[in-house]
Copies of this chain bind each other. A is one copy, B any other.
Amino acid sequence: MNDKELEKLRHSAAHLLAQAVKELYPTTLLTIGPATSEGFFYDFLPEVNFSIEDLPKIEKKMQEIVQKNLPLTHRQISKKEALKIFSDNKFKQELIENLPGDTVGLSEQGDFQDLCKGGHIESTGQLKYVKLLAISGAYWRADKTKDALQRISGTAFFTEKELKDYLKRKEEAAQYDHRKLGKELDLFSFHLEGPGFPFFHPKGKIILNLLINYLRNLQQEHGYKEIETPLILSDQLWRQSGHYQHYKNNMYFLAIDDAPYALKPMNCPGAFLFYNEKPHSYRELPLRLAEFGKVHRHELSGVLHGLMRVRAFTIDDAHLICTINQLEEEIQKTIHLTLKAYKDFGFESVKIGLSTKPENAMGSDEEWQKAEQALANALTNSGMDFVIQEGEGAFYGPKIEFKILDSMGREWQTGTIQVDFFLPERFDLTYIASSGQKERPVVVHRAIYGSLERFLGILLEHYKGKLPFWLAPVQIKVMTITDDQNEYAESILKKLKDHGLRADFEKNSDQISAKIKAAQLEKIPWMLVVGAKEQENNTVTLRYMDGKQEFGLLLDQVLVKAKNQSI
């Protein structure tokens, strides 16, 4: 069974949900109900709002329809006919009117009909392993000026085992929700005074700084140059880049001396102003411009979700400015860098998609072909499997998308490598070729983490809070059996710190068992326990988070072990 089949199953599950709702609450207006990577949802406009208590009832009705094993059929009908069928539903009417062509798809199961482009299973009997999970708010066309809808979401699988595994994983995921871990480990918080804007506590800030330092060093080794561009730039610039036209609902605007400005939602225009500061020669290319750029993007308050969805975040942005002939090599290097980084962070399993030319793309077919070929070749030469996401590229160029798999089997879209023909035109980027002629470079937008804040959230969930030694805010906790060893412990602490280790020594007089428990709750990778014997022999006991211990180690041995943990 592949992803396409699962998508069909889940899309059909959405229809099943809609049918059940319609049978129970006939006046409810249906809108849309797609499959998602986690399951499916359907957005409704009910006469009376649903509550979480209604879900079992709806599920029961769904199972009744499953029992009937109704066949699912699909056919094309004229728009006129469709408008008649859905004459009492303004949402479907709007959808029908906006669809291209003269006909639209209609799916049917029993006496239930829905507007649908197709892609279903055979009959409702295949939908035994369906589970409703949540009710949330949504807006028609995700536009808060339009109707407020209710979204019921659920999931569906082909087998009972898959469904059970999923629900177990979901429960586990809830237990290791990064928002919960962030609080327990004192890493970050949110406050009413800045909704969607994270506050990083000292330990969270240490991890953020580690993420920056790790990538800064890696990028430096690989010939990147780091720049810093302003957070506020003129409205005019955002019109030039097209962000104003396409993205203004997600941007924050302000006035300076009565002229309009915006907080940057992306770092590209700033980088291009820097590039255009002076003329460039082909000898300088490829130019790899990196920026840890803080961007602000408006999100509806309802979709804010811990560090995963915020209104301000830091992109590990880079713009690779190169000639079309350098493109393939640049992309290949970027793939390697990206995969190395994921591996270092413990993500060995990565899925890759290549999104190709959509309709209404800009740029010539030849350019697109060259760029898509460059991306595909780079992936193939790197020995990577990938799926072609036909027509899913941006209008300005094709892209590679990286999805990392976490320890709970979930996929997270993180990195992208995006070829861009558009902005080099818009910003009139040029270089002087060896011929002496002005030429237009290609730009590759690239991010590995994507958002540093979100990547931190992913790391927390992936490791269930137990960050590896090199990423732990406190790596080592020194603890004494009795206060008699405090002086010895202080001398150990000093040496650890002198070696650049993030170590701590809690000077309270608790029982050693209580100290160990506290360090475990803090998820500190290593404890160095010292008692009278250790002090006498000038050694320590190294105790790992999982309880394993190594006795009688010299501090130098600990330092070597610590060094071996570094990336």
Compute how far the CA of A348 lies from the CA of B234 in the bound complex, rounded to whole angstroms. Answer: 42
Which among A21-29, A116-124, A195-203, A387-395 touches the partner chain?
Answer: A195-203
Interface flag for A551 (CB, 8 Å): no
Which residue of the partner chain, among B189, B226, B270, contacts A277 with CB atoms under 8 Å?
B189
Compute how far the CA of A109 lies from the CA of B564 in the bound complex, rounded to whole angstroms. Answer: 81
Verify A193–B225 contact, CB threshold 8 A.
no
Which residue of the partner chain, among B202, B233, B263, contacts A227 with CB atoms under 8 Å?
B202
Contact with B along A303-341 (1 / 0, CB 8 A): 000000001100000000000000000000000000000
Compute how far the CA of A401 lies from the CA of B231 in the bound complex, rounded to whole angstroms. Answer: 30
Q: Interface size on A (CB < 8 Å)?
A: 48
Interface flag for A230 (CB, 8 Å): yes
CB closest residue in chain B, given A498: B221
The smallest beta-carbon distance between A124 and chain B, in angstroms, is 42
| Interfacial chain B residues near A228, Cβ < 8 Å | 199-200, 204-205, 208
Interface flag for A560 (CB, 8 Å): no
Verify A257–B198 contact, CB threshold 8 A.
no
Interface flag for A256 (CB, 8 Å): yes
The smallest beta-carbon distance between A195 and chain B, in angstroms, is 8
Compute how far the CA of A195 lies from the CA of B229 in the bound complex, rounded to whole angstroms. Answer: 12
Say how many copies of this protein the assembly contains.
2
Most chain B CB neighbours (cut-off 10 Å) among A200, A204, A236, A312: A200
| Interfacial chain B residues near A253, Cβ < 8 Å | 254
The smallest beta-carbon distance between A68 and chain B, in angstroms, is 46
Interface flag for A296 (CB, 8 Å): yes
Interface flag for A194 (CB, 8 Å): yes
| Interfacial chain B residues near A199, Cβ < 8 Å | 227-230, 270, 273-274, 277
Verify B226–A194 contact, CB threshold 8 A.
no
Interface flag for A214 (CB, 8 Å): no
Interface flag for A232 (CB, 8 Å): yes
Which residue of the partner chain, among B197, B230, B236, contacts A197 with CB atoms under 8 Å?
B230
Interface flag for A294 (CB, 8 Å): yes
Residues A245-299 near B (CB distance < 8 A): 252-254, 256-257, 263, 269-270, 273-274, 277, 289, 294, 296, 298
Compute how far the CA of A194 lies from the CA of B197 in the bound complex, rounded to whole angstroms. Answer: 24
CB closest residue in chain B, given A229: B199
CB closest residue in chain B, given A197: B230
Interface flag for A237 (CB, 8 Å): yes
Verify B254–A226 contact, CB threshold 8 A.
no
Compute how far the CA of A54 lies from the CA of B201 in the bound complex, rounded to whole angstroms. Answer: 59
Instruction: Enumerate the 9 nearest inter-chain pairs by beta-carbon distance, A residue then B residue, closest first.
Output: A197-B230, A202-B225, A200-B228, A194-B230, A254-B254, A193-B237, A193-B234, A194-B233, A205-B226
> Residues of A at under 8 Å CB distance from B?
189, 191-195, 197-202, 204-206, 208-209, 216, 225-234, 236-237, 252-254, 256-257, 263, 269-270, 273-274, 277, 289, 294, 296, 298, 301, 311-312
Q: Could you list some 16 contacts between A and B, CB below 8 A?
A: A192-B234, A193-B236, A193-B273, A194-B230, A194-B233, A194-B270, A197-B230, A197-B231, A199-B229, A202-B227, A206-B226, A209-B226, A230-B312, A231-B231, A252-B254, A254-B254
